[in-house]
A = this chain, B = another copy of it.
């Protein structure tokens, strides 16, 4: 039985284990600083399919297969798939897993999906509802751009605070037993809306949510940032990361030395022309599932807090003049 602690943290009894992780990314991500950690790089943005949307499903499906293979488990061992993406009606995940022959729980947390799936996956395994689960998320630059902003053919200019949607996906196999880092607790986040209306400044829309969840997490556990080797946010980018650290200082927490962001890790911001860095569900999913898992295996990390961050917006609501709500879910992982 899990135990509730403080306002919103859940401490696990069984501590579900991350048996394996895998990521497949696009060419630009394959040219970035984390290239060697990814399982595969797909140079063709169509990934051999006819549309960008089908390509995203293909990448997600192949990532799942890779994670499964690395876990040593069979497809039949998996009790539930917990996955989502950014596409309308979450079709990247639905189509990726339509042949999986495994119960499927669709999640929507925008770019917070990876930690949302880890949160729910851990809760299900800890409570006995699943023995093994897949947690996965994906995004694709081309499918996301035309859906949220403009078709690529328009050649629209990008604003300085814009981020670059990652083409890629990440998946981990969570289990009740086995070898690997353990998920010891989770702090699911509240929706926070501070009135940001600029759909080209997602970092600013998501930073307050990250701040709220991290603050609650530390308070619930009576910890400080120094209790972690790393506090890893999803895709705040450089602008959002700076904003998060300023907001945390206002809450009396200095975490700057412990903080990194998947959106600034996955690209070389100086050389790759990605403005404030990477974004998209696939960004934190790919970085967490491979680079971070590798750091655990190397012994470089003993305890981290992983907080993927999501901007819960749609073009429809933004065009109606609405502000952008954010959400961030945190999971604490120990070696």
Residue ranges of A at the interface with B (Cβ–Cβ < 8 Å): 1-4, 8, 10, 13, 50-51, 53-54, 79-80, 84, 86-91, 94-95, 97-110, 116, 119-120, 123-124, 126-131, 147, 187-193, 312-317, 320, 322, 325, 327
Checking B3, B91, B101, B123 against A313 with a beta-carbon cut-off of 8 angstroms, the contacting residue is B91
| Nearest CB in chain B to that of A13: its residue | B128
Q: Kindly state the separation between the CA atoms of A128 and B3 in the bound complex, as whole angstroms.
A: 6
- Counting chain B CB atoms within 10 Å of each CB, the highest count among A79, A116, A312 belongs to A312
Number of copies: 2
**Contact (Cβ within 8 A) A100 B191:** yes
Q: Kindly state the separation between the CA atoms of A325 and B94 in the bound complex, as whole angstroms.
A: 7
**Contact (Cβ within 8 A) A190 B3:** no
**Contact (Cβ within 8 A) A188 B80:** yes
| Nearest CB in chain B to that of A143: its residue | B316
Besides A2-B128, A4-B128, A89-B108, 6 new A-B residue pairs in contact (Cβ under 8 A), listed by A number = A1-B1, A10-B128, A89-B314, A94-B312, A95-B317, A104-B191
Listed A/B pairs (21) with beta-carbon separation below 8 Å = A2-B127, A4-B79, A4-B130, A4-B131, A8-B79, A51-B320, A84-B108, A90-B108, A91-B313, A91-B316, A97-B191, A98-B192, A98-B325, A99-B193, A101-B190, A102-B190, A104-B188, A104-B189, A120-B124, A123-B127, A147-B316
